[in-house]
Each structure stands twice: as structure tokens, then as C-alpha cells.
Amino acid sequence: MVKWPAVIKYHGEDELIYVESLVEWQNEPDLCLPHYESEDRLIDASGALFSFPVASSPSDTDMFVSLDSRILVPEFVELVRKHAVIENYCCSAKINAKTHQQVVAMVKEINSL
């Protein structure tokens, strides 16, 4: 089960998408429509990794497929650094965090600028 908020990581892209809640996911057509590739990932607030099924309904709460693995905080921070560069966020090399929740919060902050 996804622990919200979460971040979408598109395969081959540095952009990260912040998603506050399942309600936001269900109400945002750009998020919940089945356009994901097999390597795209949802990273939740605990660092758990999920994939997206090829076809799903926005009301289907089991649409996220657990990969039974977690991203390490340093690896997650590196994704945020790359994302910060494309968002023209200054001092991206200095970005650091100790928890998955802190990393997710950084994505929210960067995306709100």
C-alpha cells in the first residue's frame, strides 16, 4: 500500500512529479490515465517502489504494483539533484536529506517554485 505523499519517476527522464495523495491522483487525469511505461516508478514516503499497470481505473486503489523494494535515501537524493537542475533550482549539489520523507518534501518544494 502506498504511503502518501509520493513521487513519480519517469524512466529515462530527470523530471519528478510530486503527488500529495490518492485523492489528487484520482482527480488529476494527467496522473491517473494509463500512459505509463513498464520502467516508470512511484516512490512513496517510505521509499517503497511501485510500478504502474498498463490499464487501470482511477478509482482502483490497488492499481500500484509493489516491487517489494525500496530506494536508498542517497539514490533518491541524487534523483532530486538531477530534477533540481532541470528546474533551475540553485545549489542542487548541496541538496541532502536523511529520510525518504525529507526527500519527498524537497520535490514538493522544488516543484512549487
pLDDT tens per residue across span 41-58: 999 999 999 998 765 555
Classify residue 2 by its DSSP letter: -
What pLDDT score does 54 carry?
A: 64
Evaluate whether 108 touches 19 at the Cβ level (below 8 Å): no
Residue 62: CB partners within 8 Å, gap ≥ 6?
none
pLDDT tens per residue across span 79-91: 999 999 998 887 7
Indicate if the pLDDT at residue 18 is higher than 90. yes
Rounded-to-integer distance, Cα 68 and Cα 21, Å? 21
Rounded-to-integer distance, Cα 5 and Cα 22, Å? 8
Any idea where the domains of the chain sit in the sequence?
6-112
